[in-house]
Amino acid sequence: MSTDTTASVSTHVLDTGVGRPAEGVRVTLSARTGAGAPWAELGASRTDGDGRCKDLPALPARTAHVRLDFGTEAYFAADGTEPEKRADARQNAPRVRGGGAFFPEVTITFAVTPGEHHHVPLLLSPFGYSVYRGS
């Protein structure tokens, strides 16, 4: 029987517009102890070539709510830093007027259960997104 009461969090981002993992998305992890408590930023990471953040920090004891902030605007920006395979796939994709992202950021807030792992994937496309609790 586990006596660990600390919850843990992981995420990954899939670009459903091109059918590949989303590499280079900045993800910031914040936590709070309850609905009225202030948010504390715990750290940030970027998704790797598999779309995963493998180095998000551990949650403090008594964490009740977690917030993941995904920097989608920079991911969708055509600034020459995006992976070649994504740039090629996006060449004919619809663009937001002015070249920006329709959703410049995505914020997911959820409750955690002590002692459980919470995997929250983001499925991302230029004009929509979806999340779910994974395993």
Q: Is residue 109 part of a domain?
A: yes
Q: Name the residue range of residue 40's domain.
A: 8-131
Q: Is residue 2 part of a domain?
A: no
Token code pair at residue 5: 């009461």
Q: Is residue 108 part of a domain?
A: yes
pLDDT along the chain (135 residues), means of 10: 72 94 96 95 96 94 96 77 48 55 93 94 94 94
Provide the number of structural domains found in the chain.
1
What's the pLDDT score for residue 123?
97
Q: How many CB atoms lie within 10 A of CB 80?
A: 6
Q: Residue 90: helix, strand or coil by DSSP?
A: helix
Q: Is residue 47 part of a domain?
A: yes
User: C-alpha 47: how far from its chain's center?
Assistant: 8
Q: What is the pTM of this model?
A: 0.83
Q: Which residues pair with 124 in a beta bridge?
A: 15, 129
Q: Is residue 70 part of a domain?
A: yes
For residue 61, the domain's CATH number is 2.60.40.180
Q: Is residue 3 part of a domain?
A: no
Q: Is residue 1 part of a domain?
A: no
Q: CA-to-CA distance for 91 and 72, rounded, in angstroms?
A: 18
- Written as one string, the DSSP assignment of 72-97 is HHHHH--SS-S-HHHHHHHTTS---G
Q: Is residue 92 part of a domain?
A: yes
